[in-house]
Each structure stands twice: as structure tokens, then as C-alpha cells.
Amino acid sequence: MVWHEITDGSFRFDLMEALFGYAAQNQKPTEERSISSSNSSTASSPAPPAQVFILDPRKSQNTAIVLKSLAISRKEILDALQEGHGLSADDLEKLSKISPTPEEAAKILQFDGNPTKLADAESFLYHILKSIPSAFIRLNAMLFRSSYDPDILHLKESLQTLELSCKELRTRGIFLKLLEAILKAGNRMNAGTARGNAQGFKLSALQKLSYVKSTDGKTTLLHFVVEQVIRSEGKRCANNTRNHEISGKGDECWDSKTTKEDVDKEYLMLGLPIVEGLSMELSNVKKAATTEYENFMGMCPALTMRIHDIRQLVSRCGSSNERSGFVREMKGFLEECEEELKVVREEQARVMQLVKRTTEYYQAGASIDKGTDPFQLFGIVKDFLAMVDRVCIDISKKLQKKPWPTAITSAGSLPLSPLALSPKTPVKLQNLQSHFVSWRSHPRPNNLISETQQKQKQKQKQKQKMALGDTIGLKEELIKKACNLAMKAHLKSPEKAYIWEKTTRGSTEAVCAFPGTWAVTDWYSRTPFGATKINIALFPSLKSIGIDELALVNEAFSSRFEQLLCNSQLEREVEKALSDRKQIVFAGHSSGGPIASLATIWFLEKYVRTNNYQKPPYCVTFGSPLAGDGIFSHALRRENWARYFIHFVTRHDIVPRVMFSPLSSIEAGMQQILLYTSSKSPYFQNESIGNSSAATSCFMVVMRNASAVASHAACHLMGCTNLLLETVSSFIELSPYRPFGTYIFCTANGKSVILQNPDAILQLLFYSAQLSSETEIAHVVYRSLNDNLSYENHLQDCLEMQNVAHLNNLVELPLSSHANTNNEAAKLNTVLNDLGLSSRARLCLRAAGELERQKIQNQVNIDSNRDSIRKGLNEIQAYQTKCEVRKVGYYDAFKLQKDINDFNANVKRLELAGIWDEIIEMLKRYELPDGFEARKEWIELGTMFRRLVEPLDIANYYRHLKNEDTGPYMIRARPKRYRFTQRWLEHAEKMQAGSSSESCFWAEVEELRAKPFEEMKEKVVSLERRTLKWIHDGHLSSDVLFDESTFCKWWRYLPPKHQSESCIARLMNKF
């Protein structure tokens, strides 16, 4: 046997005993050791004294192991039991597992021997129970308190899920259309029978639809019904995209070359994503189906019973311990729990009534009192959705096996992305707005969107007629010069760090071009994607202000720029151009592009934002790789700087897409590509390199990664989730890089597409380079490398043709590749076809446009609250004035809560907090335009709100002694609505972070007055200095100096010597 082969080995029992606290008792030497050890036994040290065990040996051992794993001392545990807090949930759970039975506790307490001889487990239990007999009952109460929040949150989430699922089932959508189709199909099949004119059917019959086979046995009734609904939705979608020009004529409006089969396939292709989206439309129904009724209904009574037990424990602690921390902590906790549970029970009753009404709505006569599961409806619908999903998969597979309609293949793009090939891609274009409006948002004004659309159309018409240079705000000659200089810099690399054009006298512009680099380490400094946090000292604006999250930037590009700035004459050249009042254009080709972008941002930070230089720079790049993440792009749009960045990209150039891939997957192929594109390489433009397997493999890997990034982003754009992509992205890291600025996509025939929406640009970077078939790979890879070196030719073609399409109205892009529309739309459609955009690509672009439009609408809704906020702030200000008349600061009055004015102020405080919390949540989810946090009117309103209302929040916090449980307000409890608005002001005014903390004055006072002066002297002096400045600047009301204010009472108890030397001594004596 295997056990016979085991030897002593090198297993360390001493280490095991140290870690797990176990040492075998009563060990006897084995026969092999008995002889050799007998001679040495007399010389060995005396055996350690025997330990006393009271518990069962196994339990004693397990208890000792648990105690070893605790990182806290016995004294800390006793202190925590006395005070009612101080132990983590993990520690509480471990300690509850070693709780002794009543019999074991009695034996331990009856022990009258020497406690030092007790074993580890027994010694610990002895000292704990001797000090606090109810120790483990207290531990269980504290454990319940730590788990209460997750439990009640789970219950609330279940209630919300049930309510939302009922609303989803009552909303008319695809689900009701399917039920309607099934009812009509059933009536038709049962015509002439008693069941032939049914007004409805039991939903349990849905599960039988897949059993009804056709006469040839090749399909089922479910397949037939779902396909008919898909076709109907596809036809409706196609009609809508033609802006109602078809007006119900249906297939007649297709051109004469389009066959009926082509039209049918087009309808199926357009309608399939809509029906696939049914699972997402009813996502909460699927969640509700997993809720167990017994557990759901039993949670409230279980929590109530535990609260009752803890209340009995608190009462048993006796009047002598009434002031102990444990009693105080638990009393406050129990009061909050009982109030919350009362509300939850009422909500539970309301939601169950809603469930009952929804069940009656679908199954008349059904009742939750008949012993059936009240949540049965959700389970039936969930099973039906799974059946519909399987049918959609079958239909999708059939469509993929058949050749695409001529109208689609003419676009030059077969769907190769996960988004296109996934059999379950819940795209919901028709109902996008329900996914983008915040759940608290106000209704949309009827005329708002129509007016916006008209303005956008007029703008688009004007831009379509403008030349390329006029459209982007740069002279065409300057664009040519930038391109020419960027390619020259490419040829000079690495001899020169940059090329500065020697401008002629009278010229108003200066051009600086940066070369690319040709070592892989100059692109990726680390794996997987080479990203690092931005140098905030050099680029202070590249962050999300409210969230306070720094942008990510490619570390290799960032380091190269910083070294160039320190070791070259760039800054001196720039300042000379500024003294000549010139406008600077930074340019770069390939990896010189990110350096040009960083140089432009550096200029904007140093000379425009800080010194108000009136001529902002431009950045023009050609085939530039991506350099920053989504926050990078968000910050540029917030600062209104994105318009200064213009990126030219050809359809197949791999370089702008390469950063979608991790280094490990493309390192070998990347080196080959750099050899081909480097002018200093012996393999420069060598055809064998361009057609090598390494280059081909690199191209395919880049496109696969671009597909994953674009598909993942598209799912979020469309308000849906592809489960496969979500699962993959949870353990496979996707590239953080995102586009920013204006992109100009150049087609092979001299046309150009201008795009400024970063979400749409991301989609276009993938879809425009997508292959029609795998047979194209060899040709496209070689062409991709040549495209990267041919930007001068492409630019010349675009400027000569002036066939420019400006995609600023994405929501009205034609979904079909047919050009049977008006002249302008036909022209746009031709350009989109030249980029190879499939219907799915256009769906993604539409979704990006819809998201942008919804952000604008959300901002309109938020703006409508400004008057309400001002009115509420005026009422708070009036309350402050009333208090000052009585010579009482409004902070102290609110803290005391003695009259009706204090109560009304509290109501208004809560109303304003609700409005601002909604704004902050939308900002955290990026549901508002990027520029919202930089809007002057909201910065001023937020500052006024913070300075007036936060003192009331602080008064409420310390009035209820929440600091004793939660901790200091500034560290543990300050709401995000105040943190965000403070950061807005500090960023706008270029202030040091944290320097505008006047609204937290009272929180600092409350913390300082609770501690000895000697410990907090430096903080006291700092507060006094800032208080003097805040009062002088009018940021802090002088009511803080009233004789009876909390501040004055505390300050007058400070040491006299300190008072006499204080910077506010004169101010205090004055009042």
C-alpha cells in the first residue's frame, strides 16, 4: 500500500505546533527510538508541567487553533465586549465558533485550581467568562449587528427586484407581443373547436409550445411564432430608419435589384437583436424567479426575534452597567433596527400586494392564498425566456450559414466580432432612453429633442458643405505642413528629439513635430498594457474631479515626454514662439503622436489654464496609437480641450489599434512591424516582413482584442449585457486605453469621416478594420503596414476630393447599407459603406449617439432643479438670520432642535441632500456630460450649498453621538455631495486639494474639544489661522464667535497663555 512507502521526510512538527497551537500529549517514544533515547533521557531537561484540560481534547485543540489565528489579545477582546465595538466581523465569527456549551462554561467557572496550569483554550475561556459571564451572548449580539446590514440590504434588494419585475411584466413590450402572437396562433390552430376563440391562456402553457411540432417535424410552434415577431420587429425598425418615407409601403420601397429573400433576411437581421433583448428587458423577472418565498417571508420575523433576544440581554445587564459602552451601543442599534424593520415590513406587504395583482393580471382567478407559490409567475416567465433565447440562437445560426443579402455584403464587412457572432446579444435600440435616464430623472419635455434634432441637422448640413480644414478649425495648408513635418521627423528618428519648423517672418503659426520610436520597450514599459497613473504635478487636470481618480497614461510615452521636456530646448522654443504671439501646432506620426498629445496638454495646463494665453495649441497626429484611458478622455472633454486634438487614421492601419492588445500576446509580431516601419531598419518596407506569419498573427491578435474591447463597450452603450463577454472580462483584463479628440477616418478612395464622440470612435476603430472574410488577411496585413507610411498621400487625396462626412448626428445614421434615400443620406451611406460598416456597426454608433443625447437630456433635467435648490438655500439662509437675531449660531440652534424653525430647517436639509445625492450618483455613473463638473453656475451653487448646509449635517451627526460609533465625521461620515462640490471649487480656482474646507469647521471643533489640548496643539493653531482667513474672506459666518457658541465655549477653556498668543485673540475679545 501507499502508506508503506511513506518515510519521516522533512515534515516540521515544531512549525505546525507554532502555527496551529497543537502539541501531542502523552507522547511515547517509538520502538525504534526507545534504545537510543534511554541513554540520553537522564541528561535531558525535566518534562514541562502537565496542562489541565477541562474541555473535550478535540474541542480544546480546535479552540486553540482558532485562538492562534486571531490577531488580537485577550485584553482587546475584553475591552471590545465592554464597549460593544472594536472587533471585526471575521474575529466575531471565529470567536462565536468556540462558544462553550452551558455545561462547559459551568465546569470552567467552577475550576478552583491554579489558572496558569490551564491549557490555552481553557485559560482563555476561564479569564473571559470570569470577567464577563455573558461574554459569548454579547459576542453573538455583536456578530448579529455586523451581519444585520448585509441581511437587511439583501431583503431590500429582493423587494426592489420584485417591484421592478412586476413593473417589467406590466410594461407593454416584446413579451406582450409574443403572448399576442401565441394567442392568435393557438386560436388559428383551434379554429372550429370550443377553444378556437380564446381570450387568453394560462402562462403555464408556454412551456408546452416547443412540443407542438410542424407537419414535417422540422420546426415547432414556438420557433414559428418567435420568427414571425422577429420579422415584424425588423420590418418596423427598417421603416423607422427611413424616416417614415416608406409610409407603410413595406417591401415595395426596396430597389428592383433586391430580392424578396434578401429583404426577409434583412428584416430578420434587424429584428433578431431586438427580440434577443427580451431577456434584458425582463432581467429583474429572472432575478425574482430565484427568490424563495419561504426564505423571503421568514427573514423579517427572524430578524425581529433576534432583536428581541438582544433587547432581553441588554435589560439583563442591570442598572449598574447602564452606562457601559455595550449597553449604549446596543440600545442605539436596536432603536434603529426596530424603526427600519417597521418600514421594511410595510414595504414587504405593499410589494406582495403588487405581486398578487400582477399574478391576477396574467392569470385571472389565481390567488396567493391557494397554497401555490406566489412567485410561480416569475419562474414560468424565466423558463419561457430561456426557450426564446434558444430559438434566437437557432435563428442566428441559420442566418450565419446562409449567404448575407447583397445589400449587406456590399458594405464590405461580415460580422466577425463577438458582438456580431454571439447568439445572445440583447441589443435594445428602440428603448434606449429607458436605460440611460436616471431612475429619479424628470420626464422629458416633448419639444426638447425635436428642437435639438433640428439644430443638429442644420449644423450637419452646414458642415457637410464646408471644406475639411474649415470643419476642424485648421487651415488645410497648416494640416499639410504638419503631416509633412511629422513624416520628416519619422525619417530623422532617433537623431533629433523633435523638429521645430523655422518660421518665416510674418507667419502666425509654428509647427513642432515629434518622431516615433522603434523598440518595443518604447511602446510598452510593463505588462500587460503598460499603463500607469498620470503625473498629476505635470498634468493636474487629467483626473475625474468629484471621484478624485487619476487618469491612466501609457508609461513609456509619458516617460519619454518628461525626459524630452527636461533634457531638450523644447520649453525654450515654446516660450520664444509665445513671445512672438504665434499659435503652436504639435504634430506626430505613429508613436510620435502620443508625445505630441502630451506636449499639447502640457501647454494647455501651463500657458492656457494657468497663464491665460489666448492662442491655444493644436495637436495633429497621423496613425497615432492610443495613449490614455477613459478618464483621460473625460478630463479633456470636461476642460473643453478635446477640440484641439485632431487624429488622422486610415481604415486598415494597425498602429492606432495596437494598444488594445497586451504586450505578451503581440511582442514578437510587434518587433517585426517596427522593423518594417522604421526608416533606420534594413527591413524598412521589406515585403517579406510585411507578409510574414509574425505580422499576420500580430494583426489578428490585435483585431481580436479590439473586438473584445469594442463589444464590451457596446453592451454597456446599449443598456444590455452579453453574459459571455461579462464572464470573460471578469478574468481577462481588457485594455484601458480609449480615444479622445476629433478623429478623421480616411477611406481608400479619398473620402473622410469626422467623428468626435469617443464611444463611437472606439466602435469605428474596430469595425472599420474588420475583415469581410479570412481570405483577406494576407492582403490586408501588408496593406495595413503600408497605410501607416502613406499618410501624406491619403491626406492629399482627402483634401483634393473634399468628400467629408461629419457624423455629429449619430442617432439618425441609416442602419441599412441601401442608398435609396435622399441625396445627403445617400452620400453619407456611401461613405459608411466605404468604411465597411455593417448594420451592427451602425447600431453601435447609434447607441453611442443615443447615450450622448441622453446625457444632455439628463443635464436638462438636473438644470431644472436649480430654482428649487436656490429656494431651499434661501430658506436655510433665512433660518441662519433668525438665529443670529437671537444671538445664537445656527449650528448650535440646529444641534439643540428646540423649536419649529429647527425642525423646518432639518426638513429642508434633507430635501436638498436628496437632490444633490441624485446629481452625485449620476456623476459617479458618468450619466451627465463630461463638462458638467466644470460649469460655473453649478460650481457656485455647489459651494453655496456646501457652506450653508454641511454645518447642519455636522450638527446632526454630533447631536446623535454618531462619532462614538462610526468615528470622526471628516474621516468616516462626510457625504460625497460635499466632497464632490469642494473638489469642484478647488479645481476651478486652482487651489490646493483640501484647502477649501471651511464647511467642515464645526467638525474640526467637535473633534478638538473632545481631546486634551497638549495632544492637539498644532491642529488648534492651524484651525485658528484658517478661521481668521475664512471669516475675513466671508466664507465663515461671524456667528461662530457668539459667546454661547460651541466654538467660543471651547476656546475659552484653552490655556490662558495660548489664548493670549493666538492669532484670533483680538477677534475673540472684540465679540
Predicted local distance difference test score (pLDDT) of residue 9: 55
CATH number assigned to the domain comprising residue 621: 3.40.50
Is residue 11 assigned to a domain? yes
Q: Tell whether omega for the bond before 594 is within 30 degrees of 0, i.e. cis.
A: no
Is residue 495 assigned to a domain? yes
What is the Cβ-side half-sphere exposure of residue 887, based on CA atoms within 13 angstroms?
5
The DSSP result for 687-726, as a single string, is: HHHHT-HHHHHHHHHHHHHHHHHHHHHHHHHTT---HHHH
Predicted local distance difference test score (pLDDT) of residue 725: 53
Same domain, 240 and 320: no
CB 998 within 8 A of CB 988: no
Chain position carrying cell 431583503:
155
Is residue 385 assigned to a domain? no
User: How many other C-beta atoms lie within 10 A of the C-beta of residue 778?
Assistant: 15
Nine-digit cell string for 726: 461579462
Nine-digit cell string for 553: 497614461
Is residue 383 assigned to a domain? no
Same domain, 613 and 692: yes
Q: At what angle do helices 570-579 and 555-567 cross, to 10 degrees?
A: 70
H or E, element range at 589:
strand 583-589
Calculate ∠ Cα 70-73-77, nearest 5°: 90
Same domain, 850 and 897: no
CA-to-CA distance for 379 and 289, rounded, in angstroms? Answer: 5
Q: Which residues of the chain have pLDDT under 70?
A: 1-49, 172, 192, 194-196, 240-258, 318-324, 364-371, 400-467, 493-494, 502-506, 690, 719-731, 772-775, 778, 817-823, 1071
Predicted local distance difference test score (pLDDT) of residue 424: 36
CA-to-CA distance for 258 and 406, rounded, in angstroms? Answer: 8
Same domain, 277 and 297: no
- Pick the last residue of a domain from 790, 823, 857: 857
Predicted local distance difference test score (pLDDT) of residue 820: 53
Q: Considering only CA atoms, which of 60, 188, 164 is closest in space to residue 121?
A: 60
Same domain, 336 and 299: yes
Q: Tell me the per-residue pLDDT of 421-433, one tens digit each, with 9 for 90 and over.
A: 333 333 333 333 3
CA-to-CA distance for 120 and 122, rounded, in angstroms? Answer: 6
Q: Tell whether omega for the bond before 494 is within 30 degrees of 0, i.e. cis.
A: yes
The one-character DSSP state at 6 is -
Predicted local distance difference test score (pLDDT) of residue 29: 39
SS3 content of the chain, % helix, strand, coil (to 5): 65, 5, 30
Same domain, 477 and 617: yes
Average pLDDT across the chain, whole number = 81
Same domain, 312 and 233: no
CB 818 within 8 A of CB 258: yes
Burial class (CB in 10 A: 0-12, 13-18, 19+), 1044: exposed
Domain tally, the chain: 5
Map residue 45 onto helix, strand or coil: coil
- Pick the last residue of a domain from 224, 252, 285: 285
CB 906 within 8 A of CB 956: yes
H or E, element range at 544:
strand 543-544
Same domain, 487 and 505: yes
Direct distance between the N- and C-terminal alpha carbons of the chain, in angstroms, rounded to an integer: 94
CB 654 within 8 A of CB 591: no
For β-strands 552-554 and 499-500, DSSP reports them as unpaired
Length of the chain in terms of residues written? 1071
Is residue 221 assigned to a domain? yes
- Pick the last residue of a domain from 133, 159, 186: 133
What pTM was estimated for this model as a whole? 0.61
Is residue 162 assigned to a domain? no
Burial class (CB in 10 A: 0-12, 13-18, 19+), 946: buried
Is residue 529 assigned to a domain? yes
Map residue 935 onto helix, strand or coil: coil
Same domain, 205 and 347: no
Same domain, 366 and 454: no
Q: Is 191 left (phi over 0), alpha (psi -120 to 50) or beta?
A: beta
H or E, element range at 947:
helix 936-959
Predicted local distance difference test score (pLDDT) of residue 963: 86
Same domain, 657 and 638: yes
What residues make up the domain containing 953? 883-1070
Is residue 995 assigned to a domain? yes
CATH number assigned to the domain comprising residue 99: 1.20.58.630
Q: Is 372 left (phi over 0), alpha (psi -120 to 50) or beta?
A: beta
Same domain, 947 and 805: no
